[in-house]
Amino acid sequence: MSGAPEAVVVGGGLAGVAAAVAVARAGLRTLHLAPKGPPDRRTSALMGPSVDYLRASGLIGNPAELGHPLTQIRIIDATDRLLRAPETLFDSKDAGLEAFGWNFPNIRLLEAFEAARASLDNLETRELALSSIERGSAGWVLTLADGSVVEAPLVVGSDGKKSLVRVATDFRAREHGFTQSALVCDLELGRPLGGASVEFHYEQGPFTLVPAGGSRANLVWIDDREVLKAAQATGQDGLRATFLEKSQRLFGDIQLLTPAHMFLLSTLTVERAGMDGIVLAGEAAHAFPPIGAQGLNLGLRDVADLAASLAAADRTAPGWANAVSTDYAARRADDLERTGGMVDALFRSLLSDFLPAQALRAGGLWALRLLPPLRKRAFGLGMGQG
């Protein structure tokens, strides 16, 4: 890249790399600050529209080369509550789709994204963290970890839940922590899942098996933090016995393929996602428990709307970066509010011991089973379609 940057993208995760590629492909001289972190051994279930965006933007090629298709969602109420929901199977064919989406290893997605980034001549990447950001005379002045300083009119903060960009530029955010955490690992099952993601709903959260090809599955188990810590302390043999019990032995034997890691759960939302030449994307703008497969899907919709805002902008006009951030905030407002409300309501309904809430949840699943138009509408909401 020759010349001073017109935009700086902060954050080296999946949403950050995708945003850097989108900004550079819009024609801006782009600096990407992407400090290397530990390998992300989680997976991401990306819905059809997200996969379509990745392919259209050149971030991935054939999804079958990277991930595994998700064709069914099976929900099993494994609680001991008085009012239990029916076992429910959602099939992508009911929505006229070959698959709801794809389950991708995050490591392989990042490799593909970074390959796309490396092909852009107007995009420079530095493996440096941001130390500070403040308003300057011609935009935002950023001081990097090595002491160097850069200035740009547009800054994209995609630097995670603890975003320095968000905090230092006075965005208002609401945060809420849960007593639950998520335990994740890769498993080998005695019988394959096929294309079905299977969710066992327990009182303190779901125990979900996501197909990862062959007999492999990715586990996401949400429960009280102390319960998960105690399970981890039993070692591989103890975890295997717990997983067999939690899965009701529906898939035969279970073997752990990777260590089990635990992640704290919380929500974070911002009042607006852009202002004054600053754009927030990914977990810098929103974070939710891993329910409803909305995490990276929502981040990629951020990136798609950022690309649309840049395409609509007149970058020859004074204050163009402010106009981009304002337009972006307007584009993202409805989706962020709708998705945040949906995920929060779903998570709380799973945990609620309040009898009317249990009745509503059970009744809702019955309605989704029996009413195809409602089921199709639910598919659309889950995929981020208003």
Q: Please spell the DSSP secondary structure of 56-115, one letter per residue.
A: HTTS-S-GGGT-EEE-EEEEEE----SS-PPPEEEEGGGGT-S-SEEEEEHHHHHHHHHH
Say if residues 113 and 59 touch (Cβ distance below 8 Å): yes
pLDDT by 10s per residue, the chain, length 386 = 667 999 999 999 999 999 999 999 999 999 999 999 888 888 899 988 999 999 999 999 999 999 999 999 888 888 876 556 677 888 888 778 889 899 999 999 999 999 999 999 999 999 999 999 999 988 999 999 999 999 999 999 999 999 999 999 999 998 888 888 999 999 999 999 999 999 898 888 889 999 999 999 999 999 999 999 999 999 999 999 999 999 999 999 999 999 999 988 888 899 999 999 999 999 999 987 765 455 799 999 999 999 999 999 999 999 999 999 999 999 999 988 887 666 665 555 554 443 333 343 444 443 444 445 544 555 555 555 55
**CB within 8 Å of 144: residues ≥ 6 apart:** 33, 126, 128, 129, 130, 131, 150
Instruction: Report how far residue 104's alpha carbon sits from residue 45's, in angstroms, rounded to the nearest whole number.
Output: 6
What is the chain's length? 386
Q: Which pTM value belongs to this model?
A: 0.87
Tens digits of per-residue pLDDT, 147-168?
999 999 999 999 999 999 999 9
Distances (CA, A) of 343 to 104, 116, 337, 350: 21, 31, 10, 11
Is the separation of the CB atoms in 30 and 155 below 8 Å?
no
Q: What is the pLDDT, as a whole number, of residue 341?
A: 62
Cα 383 to chain centroid, rounded:
12
Residue-wise pLDDT tens digits, 297-346? 999 999 999 999 999 999 999 999 999 999 999 999 998 888 766 666 55
As given in the structure block, the two tokens for residue 102 are 């794809």
